[in-house]
Amino acid sequence: MKTDSIKNVLFDLDGTLTDPVEGITRSLQYALCELGVACPAPAELHIYIGPPIRDALAILLKTTDQSLVEEALRLYRVRFSETGIYENEVYDGVPEMLADLRASSHRLFVATAKPLVFTEKIMKHFRLSNYFEGIYGSELNGKLDNKVELIRHILKNAELSPGETLMVGDRMYDIRGARENGCMSLGVIYGYGSEEELKSAGADLICDSPQEIATRLCAPG
């Protein structure tokens, strides 16, 4: 894939800019335990980093009862909003990568299924906000937590050309969201999706570090 046509870069948050494993897994465990459901070990919950939390909770609870899912989500947010949100860390090399992309005149945006109210707090806390022209996330009621819909919303709202836009993320949802909207995609394998998952979803590029992302996108051709 030629990278010289890319002017706009959309970044997933969890598993791409920051590693949220502790906060998300502990908050999932809290919600399940409060409901009297057996709590999987943290390592078994890694697969749920990426999809919308409602979907993850429905699977973990083995239910289609939306009222139960919403109660679990409420409990998840009780812990996540105060504690879990900061049990998180920026991946090594991310600030430098973002600085390089900005210096090479790329327009940067955050595109995450995480609710915007939490996303903005995380970005501010880790001093990442100033690298981005726009920060986009879902609403608390679940609107825009689907990556296809979210990317479509960003393209329209920011008036971006799909052919000049790249989505960077660690899960198949990011890659599929890009493809459905006519954008290019870059999968990162330092997050929570495997190389096989990303390639199967149709990623145009695969990178194993933030440094490699900067090198690939800032190099001519």
**Could you tell me the strand order of the sheet in which 8-11 lies?**
134-138, 107-115, 8-11, 165-169, 184-188, 205-207
Which of 4, 158, 189 lies closest to 91, judged by CA?
189
Radius of gyration of the chain (CA): 17
Distance CA 156, CA 70 (A): 30
Count the residues in the chain.
Answer: 221
Active site residues: 12
Residue 39: both structure tokens together: 């709590």
Q: In a 3-state reduction of DSSP, which class is residue 2?
A: coil
Do the Cβ atoms of 111 and 11 come closer than 8 Å? yes
Which amino acid does the sequence have at 156?
Answer: K
Residue 126: both structure tokens together: 């880790």
